[in-house]
Amino acid sequence: MSDLAMLTAAVQAFRDARDWRQFHTLRNLITSLNLEAAELLELTQWKSDAEVEALPSDPAANEALRDECADILLYLLLIADVTGIDLAAAAQAKLLKNAEKYPVAKACGSRAKYTELK
């Protein structure tokens, strides 16, 4: 069993023990994922780039980063479970698509979108 499959089983067990599946519609899961992503973003609000870069070295900020990243991952696992998406396979496929859109020879060192690469 993969790490993702084990995490999915753990989050399902957590959810099911609390009878929360009834609330986990696809819409609610996607909304919750975005709310958690906003909480991650909030950790950077009003901070300079240097302050944001320093977050991992501050124990309390690092814990907050870990917690928000974990919340995002857990909701993503539930979304993938509900929709039947194999996240590892989807990520590999997306990397292949991105490699085609962003060939090294054109994209290396560039922040341009693939439609703007020359």
- Which domains are delineated in the chain? 3-85 (1.10.287.1080), 87-118 (no CATH)
d(CA 87, CA 78): 11
Query: What pLDDT does 71 receive?
Result: 98
Q: Hey, what amino acid is at 50?
A: A
d(CA 37, CA 2): 25
Residue 25: pLDDT band (50, 70, 90) is very high
Largest CA-CA distance found in the chain, in angstroms, rounded: 54
Share of the chain above pLDDT 90, in %: 92
Residue 79: pLDDT band (50, 70, 90) is very high
pTM to 2 decimal places: 0.91
Query: What pLDDT does 1 receive?
Result: 79
Query: What pLDDT does 2 receive?
Result: 85
